[in-house]
Amino acid sequence: MVDFRDELQACVPALRRYARALTRNIDHADDLVQDCLERAMSRRLLFRPRGPLRPWLFTILTNLHRNTLRNRRRHGEMVDIDTLPDLAVPAPQPGHLALAELARAIETLPLEQKEALLLVTLEGLPYADAAAILGIPTGTLMSRLGRARSTLRALTGTPAEPHLRTVK
Amino acid sequence: MSAPDRDLLMAYVDGQLDAGARAALEADPVAMAEIAALQRQSDAIRTLYAPAGAEPVPVRLDPHRLAAHQARRTRAALGRAAMFVAVLGLGIAAGWWLRPASHAPELYDRLIANAVSAHTVYVAENRHAVEVAGDDSAHLSSWLSNRLATTLAMPDLSADGFTFLGGRLLPAPEIAGGRAAQLMYEDGSGARLTLYITPSSGIDGPSYEAVDFGLDTALYWADDTFTCTLVGPQPVDRLEALLTTIAAQLSPGSPGSPYRAL
């Protein structure tokens, strides 16, 4: 039988990735992951669903992040844009998208669209799983996803019809 | 492009389509161009954030370590809770132990205070220190016995160096009979002792109490018949010895020395 903590450990890299994309701050992200792990450990006897661990952890982390934002808004905490770590801008990547520009564009998305986008594109979760994590119907997930993608495309100036690619 | 088409293209990019649906799209170059753009966007997003998932994980995010921490915290919290309960319990116990006596002084306390007041007033008198002189001991004994509705012997302290001066009747409105007796003794140096006596029926309280009144000490003692309060300027152990002698003589029927030094 696999130890619960080993199972958790296997999920940590993905959680960090998702948290980093949500917060764009390494410390905030790791704080979120730590909170998430602690919560999972303290609640697993009561709340752990029978299914796989990963979607449950993503659900916890998503909710923790929303709570953090809500509290921050309530307490009026200012986040100095200069304290956000610079995103390294590597060499141009596929599609010649300027990554920094894309990162900034993602920041402008409403949180609910950002969550949907990251769960599906970054984490590669099936629609059904992502919708369950966010507690929404699959149709809603897809519409958030569609709006997020259109916005990003508009903001990053990628034309609607890039160079055609032939697929055999 | 209509909305359902957009969803279909997205589903292709996100790997949500079965083989048949994929093949249908792949036959359409316009759709594939759109799909390629979406794919580039997804790739870019992964390029941006995937490295975070490949970084070495800090030790603070090790679930084994967190579990150990949590267990320690739980133990510490339990310890604190236990400590809290213990301290609270001690506080309650101490509070109960040290609780102030009820605001109205106990009856025996008032008798002690009466004894001390009477002592202070009458030892200062020379000619009228007593109402009936000690040389008429038999008369004094029967008179006070009648008034106190009990049998009261006049204790003889001559073996201890005290002369019996006599006694008087005092009002004691606190107690059932309403009367108390005071006997007075004097030693060779002129230092005086008084003994304040009441019947003990209806008086609750300890059987022994010593109270320091500064110049004088009051020793209170009670048995089934009497309460006695011996008041004088003598050292407390001297008074205790005298009270033992007195108690033995006051209640000849009662066994031995009922008074034990604490």
* Gyration radius (Cα) of chain B, Å: 47
Domain of A121? 4-74+95-156
Asked if B186 and B165 touch (Cβ cutoff 8 Å), the reply is yes
What is the tally of structural domains in chain A?
Answer: 1
Residue A124 lies inside a defined structural domain of this protein:
yes
Asked if B229 and B195 touch (Cβ cutoff 8 Å), the reply is yes
**A163, pLDDT greater than 70:** no
Distance (Å, whole) CA B119 – CA B121: 6
**A31, pLDDT greater than 90:** yes
Residue A86 lies inside a defined structural domain of this protein:
no
pLDDT, tens digit (0-9, with 9 covering 90-100), for A76-123: 655 555 544 555 544 444 444 478 888 889 999 999 999 999 999 999
Distance (Å, whole) CA A145 – CA A127: 10
Among B73-82, B91-100, B216-225, B250-259, the minimum mean pLDDT is found in B250-259
We report the CATH number of the domain holding residue A21 as: 1.20.140.160
Asked if A17 and B49 touch (Cβ cutoff 8 Å), the reply is yes
Phi, psi of A152 (to 5 degrees): -60, -40
pLDDT mean over B241-248: 88
**Chain A residues near residue B10 by CB distance under 8 angstroms:** 142, 145-146, 149
Inter-chain contact B49–A5, Cβ cutoff 8 Å? no
Distance (Å, whole) CA B252 – CA B229: 18
Q: Which helix (H) or strand (E) element contains residue B196?
A: strand B192-199
In order of A118, B2, B33, B35, B226, the CA distances from B26 in angstroms are 25, 18, 10, 9, 117
Residue A80 lies inside a defined structural domain of this protein:
no
**A25, pLDDT greater than 80:** yes
Distance (Å, whole) CA B205 – CA B152: 22
How many percent of chain B have pLDDT more than 70?
92
**B246, pLDDT greater than 70:** yes
Asked if B209 and B108 touch (Cβ cutoff 8 Å), the reply is yes
Query: What was the pLDDT predicted at A1?
Result: 52
Inter-chain contact B46–A12, Cβ cutoff 8 Å? no
Of B44, B48, B57, the CB nearest to A12: B57
Residue A139 lies inside a defined structural domain of this protein:
yes
How many percent of chain B have pLDDT more than 90?
37
Residue A82 lies inside a defined structural domain of this protein:
no
What value does the mean pLDDT of chain A take? Answer: 81
Instruction: Give the model's confidence band at B89: pLDDT under 50 very low, under 70 low, under 90 confident, else very high.
Output: very high
A127 touches chain B (CB under 8 A): yes
Distance (Å, whole) CA A94 – CA B114: 107
Inter-chain contact A99–B47, Cβ cutoff 8 Å? yes
| Interfacial A residues in 1-20 facing B (CB < 8 Å) | 5-6, 8-9, 12-14, 16-17, 20
Residue A128 lies inside a defined structural domain of this protein:
yes
B25: its two tokens: 């799209």
Query: What was the pLDDT predicted at A162?
Result: 44
B200: its two tokens: 């003990």
**B100, pLDDT greater than 90:** no
| Interfacial A residues in 34-63 facing B (CB < 8 Å) | 34, 37-38, 41-42
What value does the mean pLDDT of chain B take? Answer: 86
